[in-house]
Amino acid sequence: MKTILTTVAALALCSAAQADTLRLLTWGGYAPENVIEMFEAETGHTVEVTKSNNEEMIAKLRATNGGGFDLAQPSQDRIAGPQAEFGIYKPLDMSKIDASLFIPSMLEATKGNTTVDGEIFAVPHVWGTSGLVVNTAMAADVKDYTDLCNADVAGKVSYRLKRPTLIGFAYAMGLDPFAAYGDEAAYKEILDQVEAKLVECKPNVKTYWDGGDELKNLLRSGEVVASMAWDTGGWQLNDDNKDITFVAPTSGALGWIDTFVLPARGRADDAAYAWINFVMKPEIAAMITASAGNFTASQGGDEGVDDALKAKYQASFPQEAIDNIKWYPTVPAGLEALEGAALDRINAAN
């Protein structure tokens, strides 16, 4: 009897040792409570969520040399550059990831864009676009990023002082910033032109928004009638006001993919791989789309998505708009410093 009890206790200790706490650094909506509860019940792992954004994720991981978290979700353009500069991630063991759960083309594209020194550092999760969110009854002429500078919307527009604004304005000005990523001097020349345009446009800006809730309130109140924002924000606002919706800019919406990466000093890799494989199941992916408002790279994950959201997506993205999406490539090392300096000068300009 004593031997049996000892064996049971040993098995219990072994099971407890295998059940890890997954420290997840992610975006709002990507780890809803109902999904966490299902994952914890199925795997025995527990999940601690820290909500963040690209800039904060990189800053947190740089400050700890890749410590403090076991799984993070930066966009795919924030992986190769920071890894080359700071070494804040560890390579993925693709044998531990069920590739059949992913849309093949999206998986291959992300693997290619996040390969450093022959090692793969990320797989895709949630994707979407940024462009324009417009009150079509009050700003019908806003069709592209630079239309935010039109006189008829003076004092009633908003955007962030972040990379998407620089990139979007560049494309609307007939420039090709992504083509210049490999030439720092050429990229600096483009940034200089965009900086001048954004300084010129400052009188039109009601405020530079930081959070999605802030922007939604500005659009609901009518204080802002046109803005740069993500597609999901426009679709959510459309539920309350049919005049407000996401508009794919004529120069092209900007496409992004948020990924899964392992921080360099994470200590619960097994739990991280278990989470990746769990949330990429089609039925779980549909739950995440319902929470985040964006589709995932899950193969078949759109089948369980609400019909109303599908309809909004189709209205914002006719085929020609889809074909015109500008997908963010990997950001070469050094360009973020150029962008940061330009944004600081725009913010300080009178």
Q: What share of the chain is helix, strand, coil (3-state, %, to 5)?
A: 50, 20, 30
Q: Is residue 256's pLDDT more than 80?
A: yes
Every domain of the chain and the residues it spans: 2-127+256-316, 129-255+320-348
More confident residue, 126 or 302: 126
**Pick from 168, 159, 254: which is nearest to 210 by CA?**
159
**Pick from 253, 218, 256: which is nearest to 144 by CA?**
253
What pLDDT is recorded for position 17? 45
Sign of CA dihedral 269, 270, 271, 275: positive
pLDDT tens figures, 134-174: 999 999 999 999 999 999 999 999 999 999 999 999 999 99
Distance CA 300, CA 282 (A): 6
Contacts with 88 (C-beta within 8 Å, 6 or more apart), sequence order: 58, 61, 62, 65, 66, 82, 263, 264
**What average pLDDT does the segment 42-55 reach?**
96
- The percentage of the chain sitting over the pLDDT mark of 70, rounded to a whole number, equals 95
For domain 2-127+256-316, is the CATH number 3.40.640.10?
A: no
What pLDDT is recorded for position 7? 46
Identical topology for domains 2-127+256-316 and 129-255+320-348: yes
Fold of the domain built from segment(s) 129-255+320-348: D-Maltodextrin-Binding Protein; domain 2 (3.40.190)
Would you state the structure tokens that stand for residue 34, as one six-digit string? 């109902």
Angle, CA 165 vertex, CA 161 and CA 173 arms, to 5°: 140
Would you state the structure tokens that stand for residue 169, as one six-digit string? 């304005």
Counts of helices then strands in the chain (DSSP H, E): 14, 15
Mean residue pLDDT across the chain: 92
What pLDDT is recorded for position 272? 98
Contact of 288 with 86, CB cutoff 8 Å: no
Q: Is residue 12's pLDDT more than 50?
A: no
Distance CA 190, CA 126 (A): 29
Q: Is residue 16's pLDDT more than 80?
A: no
Residue whose pair of structure tokens reads 């978290």 in the numeric block: 69
